[in-house]
Copies of this chain bind each other. A is one copy, B any other.
Amino acid sequence: MWFQKEIRLPAVKRGFHLITDLLEAHLPELESINVGLAHIFIKHTSASLTINENADSTVRQDFERHFNHMVPENQPYYRHTLEGADDMPAHLKAAILGTSVTIPIRNGAFNLGTWQGVYLCEHRDNASKRTVVVTLQGE
């Protein structure tokens, strides 16, 4: 069984945001899969997806602070600067974190660990809505 749909995510502020519940609400098809995989792919190059801690919001705040430290704005070696100081760092952060996550499906639901959630990582200052392609497969 294959299923693919595009989901338009609400625009969010620059930072790291939990979207696990939002994804599940858009994916009633999960319930029909006993064993399978969910592939979630963001169609952008300045936002990304990752999986991390789902409970304490300071984790997500520290992600934003550390990534700004590890991939700073206004580095003298940047040449791609026309779209703003946040643009080139956004491309780099997106590649470091990744464009997609793949999650096992078991008994009609994401088979995540207790403390795991899916993050939408928004790396631009003024981003509009982002689109993800979700591909579900299984039996």
- Report A's interface with B, CB cutoff 8 A: 2-4, 35-37, 39, 41-45, 50-53, 56, 58-59, 61-63, 65-66, 69-71, 75, 77-80, 88, 91-92, 94-104, 106, 111-116, 119, 131, 133, 135, 137-139
Contact = CB atoms under 8 A, between A and B. Distances in A.
Contacts of A75: 65-66, 69
Contacts of A98: 50, 98
B45 A53 contact: yes
A133 to B, nearest CB: 5
Given A88-B59, A94-B52, A39 B37 contact: yes
A39 B104 CA distance: 8
